[in-house]
Chain A
Amino acid sequence: MSDSLKLQYIISDEDFTRAGEASGDVKSKLKMMGVNPDVIRKVSIAMYEGEINMVIHANGGVIDVIITPKDITMILKDKGPGIKDVDLAMQAGYSTASENVRALGFGAGMGLPNMKKYSDEMNIETELGVGTTVTMKVNF
């Protein structure tokens, strides 16, 4: 497919201060491509929350970003512990994050709700002990 662009990022959990670098890179690339600012913001926030989740809950993972003329799809795949109760995790304010993570400014239970809020479509596939794949789509 010549009219789609694919980007891939390996997310490491070694350094929390670097979490968000991939999202920042996608943001600047979309900016250079002249994408509508509202779309850029939605993609940036949704991906950033996802990237943070991968670092604090799942020991990192891989993010694929596919840009087509119609939409932007982000596929976040990790080999973390999985999500026990997806409905509960989707509730604003529910969090399993440690005090340590809260001290860093995250773990308020807004990650998944924010990802859903800023994406036009979101799908979560998760298996305990195997990992989680979150797919988010933002339309142009």
Chain B
Amino acid sequence: MNTIQRFTKRKGHYMTINDVQTILHGRFICGEEHADREIHSACGSDMMSDVLAFVKDQAVLLTGLCNPQVIRTAEMIDIYCIVFIRGKKPTEEMIEMAKERDIAIICTDHRMFNACGMLYDNGLRGGKPY
């Protein structure tokens, strides 16, 4: 059974932070202790105001932007898992900020389109259109 069938069959339209890491062949930078938390939706953007316009419970944020405002944006809308794509690496300051806020950080080498597609393929959705 391939990955796609395995996740959708088991979890339906949600998954855990651990699943996100596995599907995206990612590495935990911090927050591995939160790996069992459920993720119900996803948002992929490099523009933080677009992310702030998207409010969903238990969401994962995929972004290629790598500065402290990403952590703050996640904090404001209660996102507790951030995936940095294209091999972007957060700074020590950002990692500390994420730890203080109980936010898990995962890094993946995949590009935005592919990373979003892989999560979508595994049953995760991004909510209704505007």
Contacts and interface: CB of A to CB of B under 8 A. Distances in A.
Given A49-B52, A110-B52, A114-B53, A41 B69 contact: no
B75 A105 contact: no
How many chain A residues sit at the interface, stated as a range, is 20 to 34
A119 interface: no
Contact of B47 (A19, A23, A108, A113): A108
Nearest to A111: B49
Nearest to A18: B68
Contacts of B48: 105-106
Contacts of A41: 55, 76-78
Interface string B41-60: 00000111110110100000
B50 to A, nearest CB: 6
Contact of B67 (A105, A108, A113): A105
Interface string A10-49: 0000001101100110010000000001000100110011
A45 B73 CA distance: 8
A108 B49 contact: yes
Contacts of B65: 104-105
A24 B72 CA distance: 8
Contact of B50 (A24, A45, A104, A110): A110
Contacts of A49: 49, 52
A60 to B, nearest CB: 16
Interface in B61-90: 63, 65, 67-70, 72-73, 75-78
Interface centre among A27, A45, A114 (most CB of B within 10 A): A45
A74 B47 CA distance: 24
Contact of B76 (A45, A105, A110, A111): A45
A6 interface: no
A84 interface: no
Given A110-B52, A114-B49, 10 more contacts: A17-B68, A20-B75, A20-B76, A23-B72, A44-B75, A49-B49, A52-B69, A106-B47, A106-B69, A110-B49
27 contacts: A16-B69, A19-B72, A20-B69, A20-B75, A23-B72, A37-B78, A44-B77, A45-B52, A45-B76, A48-B72, A48-B76, A104-B67, A104-B69, A105-B46, A105-B47, A105-B63, A105-B65, A105-B70, A106-B47, A106-B48, A108-B49, A108-B50, A109-B49, A110-B53, A114-B52, A114-B53, A117-B53
Interface of B: 46-50, 52-53, 55, 63, 65, 67-70, 72-73, 75-78, 93
